[in-house]
Amino acid sequence: MEDSELHRILEAKMKKMTTTTTEASKLAGTTMVKLTEENFQAYSNASKPLLVDFWAEWCGPCKVMEPVIERLSRKYADQITFGKVNVDEEMNLSSRFQVFSIPTFMLFRGGNPIDAVIGAVGEAALEQFLKRALNGSGAYR
């Protein structure tokens, strides 16, 4: 197989994965908040903890984690606010919190980061991360 053929196949698969994930998100009834530099402080200082998903459109592992975050956002909507930061659009936010790898999931309380998970992880592991933070045992880096 030639490199051009492999490249074409990979592009087609990524496009299909992106389209499928986007369509699923629209149907999911998500409770995700798009975070920007303008609204970040208000959400991070709110009474509920804030889980931030630092992601990018081109990031394959970010796309894999999207349905996991969607499910957890519905399950924990009454206890945690779930937000997304597109690192390409909000470079100041990702820089401020030293996000060098994506996906990065960072939990905030009182405007401060209290814990983080870097990379695509299983749903059970991410849920345990949330439960630890809700129980007050999160410790940022």
Nearest residue to 133 (alpha-carbon basis) of 74, 77, 68, 51: 51
93 or 9, which is more confident: 93
pLDDT digits (tens, 9 = 90+) for 37-52: 999 999 999 999 999 9
pTM comes to 0.76
Task: Return the CATH superfamily for domain 30-134.
Answer: Glutaredoxin (3.40.30.10)
pLDDT over 50 at 137, yes or no:
yes
CA torsion 68-71-77-81 (nearest 10°) is: 20
Per-residue pLDDT averaged across 17-38, rounded?
62
Model pLDDT for residues 89-131, shown as the tens digit of each residue? 999 999 999 999 999 999 999 999 999 999 999 999 999 999 9
- Give the domain ranges of the chain: 30-134
Indicate which residues carry an active-site annotation: 59, 62
